[in-house]
Each structure stands twice: as structure tokens, then as C-alpha cells.
Structure 1
Amino acid sequence: MQRTLSRIGLSLALVFALAFAAVGQSASPSEVTRWSVAADAAEQALDSENSTDSRLEALRAEMVAFRTGFREATGQNSSRIATLREQLAALGPAPEGEGATPEAPDVAAAREELKAQLQELLVPVQRAEAEYVRADAIISQIDQALRDRQAEQLLETTPSPLYPIYWQPALLDMKNALAGLWNEAPETGGPSGDLRQTLPVTLSLTALGLVLIFRGRNWSQMIVRRLHNLGGRGFGIWRFLVSLLRIFLPFAGLNLLALAAISTGFFGPRLDEMFMLFAFLGGMMLGVRWVSERVFARDDDEALIPLSEQDRRIGRFHVSIITALIVVAALVAEILDAGDPSPASKSVLLFPITVLAAVSLYFIGKLLGKVSDPEQDDTVAAELRASTMARVMRFLGKGAILVAFVTPVLAAIGYLRAADALLPPYFMTLTLLGLVMALQRFAADVYGAVTGQGIQARDTLLPVLFGFILLVLVMPLLALVWGVRVTDLTELWAVFLRGFAVGDSQISPTDFIAFAAIFAVGYVLTRLVQSALKSNVLPKTRIDAGGQNAIVSGLGYVGIFLATLAAITGAGIDLSSLAIVAGALSVGIGFGLQNIVSNFVSGIILLIERPISEGDWIEVGDQMGYVRGISVRSTRIETFDKTDVIVPNADLISGTVTNYTRGNTVGRVIIPVGVAYGSDTRQVETILREIAEAHPMVLLTPPPSIFLLNFGADALEFEVRCVLRDVNFMMNVKNDINHEIVAKFAQEGIEIPFAQRDVWLRNPESLRSNVAAPSAGAPHSGTTEEPETSEATDPEPAPPDADAPEGDQT
């Protein structure tokens, strides 16, 4: 009874879930029944130990299809549901409690009607979500069961191939399997048609296949030689593309030979499959051979791994050996599976192949270890040992040596599946990594040909980024090589597309793409508007340069903020779900980022109030220079020494700043001048005024001022104070006026004094006697009275000594 009720509930759930599907049609009873039957069958198959892997895979695919439908059903009518919730929120909460004022009847009726509509829409969505959870759980259980079985198979053991008792039965099983394949066609009635009718097609396919196999390599080499003779900077690119013909032409020839054998109708179905398998394995062998030709290239300049020519030839040889052995092992395993071999036969026949492949893999590991051989003493090797590639090659080489030792041991003790899951995947991993290196080199050559850098482009950043992208793209192939099922990758991709939950919001990669696209559009529009304002609109106004820069910068901040807000809204990200994160972030800002926030706010204030602008001459602290840039966090000042000083914006807001060019460039210059006592002060004043007024940078309104400030110790001290049109030329103006003052004073006979002192000795004869006494050899005792001195200032200026330094003279 409970089982019946459960099925009825599932049927109703499917009806409601599919009622709001994108097609707008109700699910048929057959679809409802199919979901119920499929779910029950999947659960029963999981409980049964006799379920095959193929059966579980089929049930999983069916569950994935149902889960996709439920996923789509959960998102139906989301806009209508959101509208109803907003309407209920607009009505406000219903009054509660005994003393609450009763709600108006029409409002209460509207509320109940909205609740009914909302409930009607939520029921199928909620039930679809429940069935989605069930389908997802079944898929997870099937994946886990398949993984467990795969792990158990790896640990299965077979009789050791080292026992001679199993050798003869193994050979007999191989012989019987080959005989069964050969005799398959007569048992099914012989050839499907007359051989004479298919003979022209067979011969044509055979001839064309043999030509492509044996002549394809020569044709590709001939094309490469002709391209080399033509020259050009893109030769490396064309050589890479033409080298692919070494794969495609022989591979096409193998497929033609397989089709020729099948066209005869002489062989059975399983042998026909063998022919196609052989063609596929031959193509794989050609591809691996091509990768080895790129990694262990014959030319030193094209080799991806820096080894000697002899080592590269050995590397190509062992790669070919391993590839051929893997192909032979696959064919042997396929032939044995066509018969009824004993458990030990496959282990016995594959063991020699495994040992030979392990030996070749060992030599490849030794070659990879030579890339960073510490015995190399040249400079290139020393640099290479420190590079990342050398460390990776050394790691891969050690891994190859370890696999080469472990694999034969596992095969010898009977763990054939474990050995088979170790050596071929490791070799294919090396091949895929070599393919990534070859494609990265090709990308570098293309980039060098486009930019004209040539082979120097191989050391730039862009090929490295392209190699990283290739490595990410090859990750799924590496996972498949190591036994990961395709369904595991598809499930991982589904989880990635599903995204993650933040609060009540589900954020998926499509949301990130939408966010990036909208933000990019907003950012580009902001930059375009800024460019138009800066180059076309603002220069036609009367706004000064600092104001124009402030408007452009402020518009950039506002545009980026609006672009971010639009991107968040367009991506459907609910900011209310990030309230907790924002609260934690605010605490972090309060403790650790307060200086950054302070500088940011100060930068906004600088752009709004504009106490300083770009191009202003300012002095802050002990730094003086021109403002060259105002950013969000700091301001860049170029000093007169042509050095940049980065000043935090908070220092400009909270500290004292002197702006010499705020609003305009008019400024005052003060020039001190000293003349000798006895000079005509009015004449000096007139001369200084004429000199100041004659300079083109000095404004006449207000006029220059000449002041006799002090009667100094050595001169009459004047000051010339004048206002300049541009204070930035202060030093130039002072230099010009000083030169003119010197010339005018010399012309008018006005002297510019300098400090001079005369020293008078009051009793020089006493000094002479004291000095002469020691020279006569008389003993000296007691104290010597020093001569008295007196100073007198020469009232008349005297010409300076030609040998005395500039300044005071004694």
C-alpha cells in the first residue's frame, strides 16, 4: 500500500513539474509512468550485485535526462513568483494579536488571493525540486558503484606469467582465437558477394592506401624542402603545418587498406572490426611518432628538449618501440577476447610486451633526467637547471623510471590490470605533455611571425599564457587516460555549470560571464565618454585644466561604479545575500584597511573640492613640485629635481599644503639689493623701479614696489617686490633683474658693498720680543702676556682682493 501511494505521489509530482515546462504542455501519463519505472529500476539495479556496468551506464543516462527536465522545471514561472512575492510585501504584514487593528476586507481578500496564486505556482516547483534531488542522488550512487567496481577490477589477480605451466595453454588459446576469427566468415555463409564484382574497388583502395603510406612521408618532406628554399619568416609555421601530413596521409592509407579488406566480404564481422581497430591504432602510433619528432627534433633549433643529437635519436627510437608494443598489446588482447581464453593466457602473452615497454620507458626516463644533469658545466645548462622546465622534466623522468620498475613487478605477481593501468597511461601522459609543448612552440612562432619578433617571441609572456591554456584544456584528456569515466567528467561539468550558493542566491558560471560582459560594456562606454569630453567638449569651455581633469576622473569613477552595479543586477546576484560577507569586510576595513579607505575618501574630496589640480605648483611638508596626477589613493608630485614623490591623499587633506598656482599663475617675487653707504637712495629707487617695470613678466598693475628696509652693518638694504604674470618663472625673472641691476649700478657708479674688517695690533713690539726669545735659545718660563687688539671698521668701502673667496674678507 505504501509503495502504491509513493508511486501516486511521484506521478502527481511529475504532472505538476512538467505542467510549467518551457513547452507549455502537460506531461502525458506515459512520461509520468516512465519516470517512476526508471527511478525504481535504477534503485533496484543498485541493490542488485548482478547488474552489469553497461546496464548501470544506461540507467544513469536516463536519470541525467530526467534530472535535466526537473532542473528546467524548477526555474519555470520564476518571474511570476517574484512578482507575487513583491505584491505581498507591498501589502505589508498581516495584523496579529488580540489588540491589533483589523485589516480592511478588500486588503485581506487581495492578500489571500495572492497567497493562493503563489501557492499554486510553488507546488509544482517544490515537487520538481524534490524529484531533482532524488534523480541527483541516484546518479551519485551509480557513479560511486561504478567507481567501486573499477577499483575492484584493478586489484583482481591472475596466475603469475612466470610459471611455465601456463605458457603452452596461452599459446594454444591464441591459436584457437585466431582460428576462430579466420573461420568466422565460412560459418556465417561465406563472402557477402562475388569477389569479382568487388575486386576493382578493393584493388583501387589497396593501391591508393599503399601509395599514401609509403609515399606520404616523402611528399611532406619534399614540401618542407621547397618551403625552405622559398624562405620567409613564416617558414617555421608552414613546416609545422606540413609536418601534420606525416600523420594524415599514412593514417588515411591505413583506413583505405582496412576498407579494402572489408570490401572483399571474405572476413567475418569481428575480423572487420579488427581491421578498423588496427587502422585506428596505426593512426595513434603515427600521432605519437609525430609528437616525438617535435620533442626530440632532428634540428637543434627545433628540439623542444635540449639534448644532444644522439640522445634525441635514442628518444625517438624508444618512443616508437613503446608505441608499437602498445599497439601489439591491444591487438593481442582483442584477439584473445574473441575466443575463450583461460585467465592466465592474457597475462602470459602480455608479460613480455610489458617488460619490453618498461625497458624503453626506463631509457626515456634517463633521457629526461639528462635535461638537468648536474655534470653539465656550461652556462646554458646552469641556467636550465634553475628553470621550471628542467625541474618538471626531472620529475617526469624519475616517475618514468619508477613506473618502469613497478609495472613488470605487478605483472609478474599477477596484477595485470594494475600494470595495464599504470604504464600505458603514464606514457600517454608524457605524449600529451609533449603535444602541449609542440603547440605552444607553434603559437610562439605564429606570434613571432605576426609581430615580426621571430624566434625571440618564444621567450615572451604570451606563448607562456597560451601554453597554460593548452594545459588546462588537456586536463580532461589526462583524466580519461588515467581511467576517469566520461560520465565523471560530464557530471563535474554539470556541477560547475550549476554553480554555488551564497545565501539564497545561486551563482553559476553563466552569471560570471554575464557580469563580465555587462561590466566590459559599461567600462568601454565610460572610457569613450571620458575621451569625448576630454578631447572635444571640455576644451571648448572656460573650465581650467585642473577642473577638466577632475570632471573626467570623477566621471570615470561614477561610470565604473554604475557599470559594476548594472553588472551585478544583470547577472541576477542578490546583494542582500552578501550582507554577512559585507559585515565581515567592514570589520576588516575598520582594522586593517582604514588608511586605504581614508586615502580613497581623500581622493574623492580632492576631485570635488579641487584644492589642488594637475599642473599646480604646491609645497607639502618638505616636498615642492608640480602635481602630475591625482589617483584614488595618492597624488604624484614631480619635484624640480625631476623625481616623482607619491603623497597619500590623506596628507593633502589633513596637512598644510601651499599652492602657488591655485586659481591662477600670478605670484610675487622679492629681490633683496644692497648699496654702499653714501649712495643716492632716491636714485637707487628710481633705477630699481625702472628695471622692474621694464621686465616683460612683471605686471604694472599692481606696480612694482621699492622699499628701503634697513640700515645694515655693511650696506643700505633695499627690496624689489613685483608681481609676475606667471610665478613659475620666478627664478628666471630674479636672474634677469639681478643681471640688470649689476649693469645699471656699474653704469651709474653705484657700488654694491661687501663686508670688510681691518685688524689693528695695539703693541706689536711685545709680540716680536716673545717670538724672538725662543729662537735665541733662552729658557721660557711663566706666562706670556698676549698683545691687546682692537677692531675698527673701515668707513670707506675698499675693492676686494682678487685672490680672496666670494663673501666676507678679512
Structure 2
Amino acid sequence: MAAALRLAFFGLVGLWLLIAPAFAQEISQEAFERWETLAKGAEETIDAERGSNDTFEALRVRIADFRGQFDTARDQNANRIATLREQLAALGPKPEGEGAPAESADVAAKREELNGQLAALLLPVQRAETAFVRADNLVGEIDRILRDRQARELLTVTPSPLNPAHWQPAVTEFMRALNGLWNENPRKGKERSWDELRSTLPVAFLLLVLGGILILRGKKWSRVIVDKLRRLGARGLGIWRFVVSLLEVILPFAGMVLLALAAISTQFFGDAGHELLISIAVLAGIMMGVRWVSERVFSPNDDEALILLPPEKRAELRFHVAVITVMIVLGEVATLILESGFYAEATKSVLTFPPMLVSSIALYRIGTVFRGYEVVLNEDEPDAEPRMSSFSRVVRWLGTGAVIVGLISPILLAAGYFRAADAILPPYILTLILLGLVMSLQRFTADVYGTVTGQGVQARDALWPVLFGLILLVLAAPVLALVWGARITDLTELWSAVGRGFAIGDSRISPTDFLAFAVIFVIGYGLTRLVQSALRNNVLPKTRIDVGGQNAIVSGLGYVGIFLAALAAVTGAGLDLSSLAIVAGALSVGIGFGLQTVVSNFVSGIILLIERPISEGDWIEVGGQMGYVRDISVRSTRIETFDRTDVIVPNADLVSGTVTNFTRGNTVGRLIVPVGVAYGTDTRHVEKVLREIAEAQPMVLAAPPPNVLMVNFGADSLEFEIRCYLRDVNWMMSIKSDINHAIAARFAEEGFEIPFAQRDLWLRNAEVLTQPKLRKQSTTEKKDDTL
């Protein structure tokens, strides 16, 4: 049922992708006039480069909106235009040149009619294409101006915070801004009365109490809630501990928000004060969230720590993260207070220098600890060269970056490059925090997967949790781009470019085309596997086709189904690859020469499946290798030898070479057992005994009956052979052993002698053995041979 629902879902998605272009609407003349006015004004503004960044951003948004409309209009009537072009192609080229036959009036009239319809349909498309190109260029110019301004701002030199002359004015301006927030009158000059304040006290008091309770009792309530949920199941691993730690952040953060709302409800502060209170609550939540991430990554518990360092190192890292978080919050609060009034440029540098300096020192310490992190994969192999894990390398690289940023940032701050320091220090810290969050979520999903599948802790190294971690990294990439100074418009521009796709010849391929291709191919592939399974398990076993033929039918159906699925996917996605025919032809020639062996094996595999000289389960001998055929794939065939080793044989060797198939068609095979008896033995009696032995074997066929032949007068014995046919040749060696055992037992009963080879030994100068000295030195040897 679940598989059917998935197929239905993918089918609906594919259907929507196919019919979505039909909803493109034509742009009105009024819209084109408004666009022309906007484009001229934008070109004048860009040429003069006047206007603030906000002005350019707003202008870019309006132009991008028109560009999106033009992009949609470019696909207007695409199906109708394609149909008209096909009709014109069907009419053939118009006769030209002297002596060419005149075109019939009907065909000429039809051609003129089709050309008129095509021109009418192409006019708005061409107009939209021209406007799209113009809008795209204007957007690019605006982005260039904004990037140039951003680069110039990074190199702007501000007064050094180390100059004592700026300290007193900075403190004075900060206190003035703080007093301005305190004395801000939301009543616009009217005095605050006690009655008005008293009317807001109940709501403020209620919010204050609720916020205080959540802050003070949030941790205990989190454990109570999880204890009740834990009774529902999913015990073990770190799932519920993860939930507890998350609630310990969410509930106090909600309390901080309620406290801020309580202060705002008193109407004692102005708009700037309200924004400051909300910002402080948000910053407090961020601080608790960063602490939560550090507790997950550098957990005191070895089973939960994501970076397994010594306990004292993890405690040190948690301390440094807490210091950085506090410093960032203090710096942001100071900046928010200053921005509520007017301040000199040196004031912000002086006030934010101490928090950034302390953060740089803490980041440097974190980097030094990371640089010492090491996990050896083959530490259990004493003779192997130590090999560091990829995760260890990533942690070390991050540590190196932290050390560099921690050293450079104070130098830039002291030199007056405040914006440059602010562009590398906070983003790097936020990058580490975001990566820690991704690691925490990936570990949580792995624990959930291990609980659901019953794999436990081993699921942390399974494929699906790793894939989910990669998905989280992809989702975190836009956030990382924003952290490092990218604008939201940069991301939307990238998304628009990806959505428009890329051109190949006369075709444009977009992500929706890829998605449609994938959906249709997956559906086709699933149907192919479904039909294969039905044939293999339900249909073919009820026929008289042998096992090899059944496997050949199933494999051939799989190849045909995958080919048809790919063809349907290309067609359904609307991919026009005709423009690549020449390039593909040239490439195919080169690939054919370079991969001719692979192609030969592929064709040979198809021949094996159709002709079936061998089948899975056959006992064959090829190239000196003997064994059972276990699998016939597209390129090669796997043979399992009697030593339980696999031999991979290219299919071309099986088609063009000599192959001995012992079980082709049936399992009947002949067995020959040679035996010799001593000279002087009654040969007819021997023949009778051997025939009785052969006939007594249950695997020996009675028709044709076993035969006993006296084949030769050997040098040492009279040579006989038992020749018989077995029901199953796969038992050849076992039956031969049984017959030999029976021959040994019957020959002993009958008194038959099985002679061994005899040799005559001749000694030269035998007379020397009669000498006394040599006789004393000689030893007596028992010889069976005649001297």
C-alpha cells in the first residue's frame, strides 16, 4: 500500500511538472509600458551610481519581478509553436532556384497560413525574450554596484580603539544613548500618570509571573513532560535526553520573551526601548541555544559527545563557548543602545573592542584544542600505517581556521579595520555553531532511526542517517552564505538562475526537467521490478521453462524495462537532445574504440541470455576453470568453483571460446572408473564382479546399463574400466569414491590382487660386493625385486 501511494504521489508531481507551463499568461501592453519606464530610470540611476544601498535593493526587487514575468512569458504557447514548426517541416522545403518545379497552390497557401500563425505566436515570445535579457543585465549591474560598495566598506579604516582619546567620548555617548532610551516618552510629551501605569500592572504582573516561573521551573518541567512521554516507548539511546535538553532551552526562552512583553505592556518605554527589550530577549534565547549546542557537541557524557575529546578538554571548550556567547551578546546590546541615538564612528569601535578581543582569545583557544583532535581508523592493526579519519581532518581544518581568525581579528581591530574584523570573527563563530547544530540534529535522527529499526547505536554509522546529515548540510548552506555577508537577493538570484536551467544547443534544461526525468524513471523502474518479481515468483514457476530460461526471461525483461523507462523519462521531461546528435555521434565513435571490449562483452551477454548455451546453475568448464554458473550479468559471468571461489569470466570468452557444459539440458553424465588386476586372474569373473558393483549403485542408470570393459594388457596389470551413466552428474566424484570402496571390499573377498608397479634393478660390477672389506661395510637390505 505504501509503495502504491508513493508511486501515485510521484505520478501527480510528474503530471504537474508536465502541465505547469500551460498556465503561462501573456504580458499586457500596459505592463510593457510600465517596464519601459522602470528600465529607463534604472539605467540612468545605474549610470550615475547615485542612491543608497536600500534604493538599489528596492529597484532590484522591482526589476527582478518583471524579469520573472518575462521568463514565464518566454515559454508561452511553446506547444503550439512546436506543433506549427512540425507542420511546416512536414510540408518540406519551399522549391527554390531555376528549373525547380512550382509549388502547388494548396501547399503554398497552407505554408503561408502556418507561417502567419507562427509569426503571430512568436511575436510576444520574442518581445518577452528581449525584455528578459534587458532586465537580467540590469539586475547584474545592480549586483555589481552593491558588491563593489560592500568590498569598499570592508577596507574602510575607522579610528583605532586603542587611542585613549576616544575612550571618554565613547563612554559619554553611550550613557547619553542609554539615558535617551530611559527618558523616551511614548506619550509624545504628555506626563505619565500613576493611574495609567496602574491600569497596565495586572497584565504586566501576570506576564512577569509566568515568565519567572518558566525561567525558574522550566528545567524541572521539561523532565516531567519527558518522563510522561517516555512511557509511550522509544526507550534507550539519547532520544529523550535530546528532547529534555531542547525543552530546557525552549521554556526559559519563552520566559524571557514573556518578561520582555511584561516590560513593554507597562508602556513605560518608547518604540526604541521596546525594540531593545525584544532584542535582549532574542539574544538571551540565542545564548541559551548556543549553550545547548555546546552541551551536545562537547557533552560530559562520552556516549553523547559528538567530538570525543578528553573530559577536561570538553569542559574547557564549553567554557570558551560560554565566554564567546556572553561577549557577543554584550557587544550586540551595546550596539543596539548606540543605534538608538547619534554616535561617532570611533564610539562603536571602542565599545565593541573588548568583547571582540575576548572572543578572539577564546576562539584561538578552541582552535588549538581542535588542532590536536585525532581519530585513527586502523589503530587495532599494529603493522598498518596509521590512517586519520576524514572527520578528524575536518575538525583540524576548522581548528586551523579558528587559530588564524583568532590571531588576525585583534590585529585588524587595533589597526582600525573594524568592518573587516567584524566580517570574519562573528561569521566564523556562527559557522562553528551552525555546524555543531547540524551535527546534533544528525545524531538525533540517527538515534531515532536506530530505535525504529532496532539497530541501536550501530545505526549512527548507517547510510540513511549519513544521507540525512548531508541534506542538513545542504539546507544549512544558504544560512552560511548569509552569515558570511551574502545578501538575500544573491540567494534568490542563484535560485532563479538554477530554476531557469542551462542551455544545451537549442534546448534549455531546468531542475524541473531533471525532477520530471527522475520521477518518470523511478516510476518506470519500479514497475519493471514489480513485473519482474511477479514473473519470477508467480508466473514462470508454473510453466515448464527450466530455471535458466526463467532467469534469462527475467533479466531480459529488466534490461528492456530500464531502457523504456529511460526513454519515457527523456520524452516526458521534454528534453530535446536532437541538437546533440552530431556531438553524440562523434563521442560514440571515440567511446566505441575505447570501450570496444566492454561493448563486446555487453553484446555477448545479450547473446547468452537469448541463445542460452549456458544458464545459471550449469556446471561448466572454460579456460581451465570449472564450476557452477551463479550469475550472468551484462558484462561478465560469475562462476563458483569447487573451492568456493568466484571466477569472473568476460561474456565474450563464453561466446567465442570453447565451453564444456556438463549439465546442459539434463544432468545425466557418464562415469568411468579404471581398475587393474594381477596377471593370471579370471577375467570373466572380474568382469562379473565389477558389473555387480556398478549395478548396485542407486545413482547408476539401468538404461543404458553399466558396461565393464577389459581395455588393455598393461605393463603391471590387466586393465578394466567400469563405464556407467549417472542420474545426476553433479554427484560424480562421490559415486566414484563409493565404487572404489566397493571394489576394494569385493576384491578382498574374491581374492583378487590389485598389483602395484614392478621394476627390475640392475647393478653394474656386482663382483665388488664379494670383497671382504666392502662386505663388512654393506648392510642387509630386503628387496622385493629380482637382482
The alignment's TM-score, normalised by the length of structure 2, stands at: 0.89
Q: Which residue is 1:786 aligned to?
A: none
Q: Who is 2:10 aligned against?
A: none
Matching residue of 1:361: 363
Describe the shift of the 1:440–1:608 C-alpha distance in structure 2 as closer, same or farther (beyond 3 A): same
Are 2:118 and 1:118 equivalent residues in the alignment? yes
Q: Where does residue 637 of structure 1 map in the other structure?
A: 639
One-letter amino acid of the counterpart of residue 245, structure 1 = L
State the one-letter code of the partner of 1:42: A
Following the alignment from structure 2 to structure 1, what is the Cα–Cα distance between the partners of residues 734 and 775?
Answer: 60
Shift of 1:702: 3.1
Match of 2:404 among 402, 406, 410: 402
Moved more, 52-61 or 711-720: 711-720
Would the alpha carbon gap of residues 251 and 802 (structure 1) be closer, same or farther in structure 2, given more than 3 Å must change? farther
Please, which moves more after superposition, 24-33 or 139-148? Answer: 24-33
Letter in 1 for 2:602: F
Q: Alpha carbons of 1:461 and 1:548: their partners in 2 closer, same or farther (altered >3 Å)?
A: closer
Aligned 8 A contact 1:177 1:336 in 2: yes
State the Cα distance separating 1:209 from its structure 2 match.
1.6
Alignment of 1:565-576 (within 5 A): 565-576=567-578
Contact 2:677/2:754 (<8 A) preserved? yes
Per the TM alignment, residue 774 of structure 1 is displaced from its structure 2 partner at its CA by 5.9
Does residue 300 (structure 1) correspond to residue 302 (structure 2)? The answer is yes
| 2:89 match | 89
Report the equivalent of 1:482.
484
**3-state SS of 2:178 partner:** helix
Larger CA deviation: 159-168 vs 652-661: 159-168
Taking the aligned partners of 2:457 and 2:25, their CA distance within structure 1 comes to 62
Instruction: Pick closer, same or farther for the CA change 1:131–1:680 going to 2, 3 Å.
Output: same
Distance in 2 (CA, whole Å) between partners of 1:776 and 1:756 is 30
Give the alignment of 1:589-608 within 5 angstroms.
589-608=591-610
Equivalences for residues 256-295 of structure 1 within 5 A: 256-295=258-297
Which stretch shows the higher mean deviation, 453-462 or 635-644?
453-462
**2: distance between equivalents of 1:304 and 1:678?**
87
Aligned positions of 1:363-512 closer than 5 A: 363-372=365-374, 386-512=388-514
- Kindly state the Cα deviation for residue 286 of structure 1 after the two structures are TM-superposed: 1.6
8 Å CA contact retained: 2:768, 2:774: no
Counterpart of 1:429, as a letter, is T
Task: Say if 1:519 and 1:566, in contact at 8 Å, map to a contact too.
Answer: yes
Cα deviation for residue 78 of structure 1 reads: 0.9
Larger CA Rg, structure 1 vs 2: 1
**Correspondence for 2:102:** 102
* Structure 1 counterpart of 2:305, one-letter code: A
| CA deviation after TM superposition for structure 1 residue 341, in Å | 1.6
Q: 1:802 to 1:513 in 2, by over 3 A?
A: farther
1:295-343: CA deviation from partner (whole Å, max 9, x where unpaired): 2323333233333444333332332222222222222222222222222
Contact 2:701 2:724 in 1 (8 A): yes
Q: Distance in 2 between matches of 1:21 and 1:459?
A: 43
Tell me how far 1:644 sits from its aligned partner: 1.8
Equivalents in 2 of 1:195, 1:653: separation in Å?
98
The 5 Å alignment of 1:510-589 reads 510-589=512-591
Q: 1:627 aligns with which of 626, 629, 635?
A: 629
Deviation at 1:132, TM superposition (A): 0.8
Q: Note closer, same or farther for the CA distance 1:230–1:490 as it changes in structure 2 (3 Å cut).
A: closer
Q: Which amino acid aligns with 1:99?
A: G
Matched residue, 1:338: 340
Distance 1:731 1:24 in 2: 76
The separation in 1 between residues aligned to 2:295 and 2:710, in whole angstroms, is 94
Measured on the aligned residues, the alpha-carbon RMSD in Å equals 3.4
- Give the conservation status (yes or no) of the 8 Å contact 2:517–2:570: yes
Q: Are the aligned partners of 1:666 and 1:727 in contact in 2 as well (CA < 8 Å)?
A: yes
Query: Given that residues 755 and 809 in structure 1 are in contact (C-alpha distance below 8 angstroms), is that contact kept between their aligned partners in structure 2?
Result: no
Moved more, 669-678 or 467-476: 669-678
Code of the residue aligned with 2:413 in structure 1: it is A
Cα separation, partners in 2 of 1:200 and 1:638, compared to 1, 3 Å: same
Q: Deviations over 1:216-271 (max 9, x none)?
A: 23443666789999997436211111211222222212221222222222222122
Aligned residues of 1:384 and 1:390 also touching (Cα < 8 A): no
Report deviation, 1:726: 2.4
CA displacement at 1:534 relative to structure 2: 1.6
For residues 437 and 425 of structure 1, the distance between their equivalents in structure 2, rounded to whole angstroms, comes to: 18
Could you tell me which of 694, 698, 701 is aligned with 1:696? 698
Once residues 266 and 684 of structure 1 are traced to their aligned partners in structure 2, the CA distance between those partners, rounded to angstroms, is 124
Q: 2 CA distance for matches of 1:202 and 1:284? A: 24
The C-alpha deviation readout for 1:50-107, integer Å capped at 9, x for no partner, is 3111111111111121111111111111111111111111111222221222222211
Alignment of 1:3-402 (within 5 A): 27-185=27-185, 188-190=188-190, 194-220=196-222, 233-234=235-236, 236-372=238-374, 386-402=388-404
Q: TM-score, normalised by structure 1?
A: 0.86
- Is 1:258–1:279's contact at 8 Å kept on the other side of the alignment? yes
**Residues 135 and 753 of structure 1: CA distance in aligned 2, closer, same or farther (over 3 Å):** same
Superposed CA deviations along residues 392-427 of structure 1, whole A, max 9, x for unmatched, are: 333323322322222222222222212222211111
| In structure 2, distance between residues paired with 1:776 and 1:205 | 125
In the aligned structure 2, how far is the partner of 1:217 from the partner of 1:687? 94
Deviates more, 1:492-501 or 1:749-758: 749-758
Change (3 A) 1:762 1:81: closer
**Partner amino acid, structure 2, of 1:100:** A
Q: Is the alpha carbon distance of 1:156 and 1:394 closer, same or farther for their aligned partners in structure 2, counting shifts above 3 Å? A: same
Count of aligned residue pairs for this structure pair? 760
Q: Is the 8 A contact 1:227 1:235 kept in 2?
A: no
Partner Cα distance (1:646, 1:760) in 2? 54
Aligned to 1:5: none
CA distance in 2 between counterparts of 1:751 and 1:404 reads 96
Structure 1 residue 532: Cα displacement: 1.5
- Give the secondary structure class of the aligned counterpart of 1:322: helix
Letter in 2 for 1:165: A
CA shift digits 1:544-601 (9 cap, x unpaired):
2211111111111111111111111112222323324423432343333221111111
Specify the SS of the correspondent of 2:660: strand
Question: What's 1:14 paired with?
Answer: none
Cα distance per residue 1:751-807 (max 9 Å; x no partner):
54444456688996x3444x3366799xxxxxxxxxxxxxxxxxxxxxxx9998xxx
Q: Which runs of 5+ in 2 are unaligned?
A: 1-19
More moved, 71-80 vs 173-182: 173-182
**1:725 is matched with which residue?**
727
CA displacement 1:143-166 (0-9 Å, x = unmatched): 111111111111222222222222
Which residue of structure 1 lines up, in the alignment, with residue 11 of structure 2? none
Query: How has the CA–CA distance of structure 1 residues 201 and 665 changed in structure 2, closer, same or farther, with 3 Å as cutoff?
Result: same
1:608 positional shift: 0.8
The CA deviation at 1:444 is 2.5
How far 1:483 sits from its partner (Å)?
A: 0.8
Q: In the TM superposition, what is the alpha-carbon distance from 1:117 to its structure 2 partner?
A: 1.0
AA aligned to 1:167 is W
What CA distance in whole angstroms lies between the structure 1 residues aligned with 2:345 and 2:101?
86
Q: For residue 125 of structure 2, give the secondary structure of its aligned residue in structure 1.
A: helix
Comparing 94-103 with 22-31, which one deviates more in the overlay?
22-31
Hey, what's the Cα distance between the residues in 1 that align with 2:189 and 2:764?
150
| Conservation of the 8 A alpha-carbon contact between 1:714 and 1:753 | yes
State percent identity of aligned pairs: 64
- The question of whether the paired residues in 2 share the 8 Å contact of 1:756 and 1:809 is answered with no
Matched position secondary structure for 1:605: helix
Alpha carbons 1:233, 1:454 under 8 Å: kept: no
Distance 1:173 1:622, change over 3 A: same
Give the 3-state SS of the residue equivalent to 1:709 in structure 2.
Answer: strand
Change (3 A) 1:617 1:354: closer
Answer whether contact 2:760 2:786 (CA < 8 A) is retained.
no
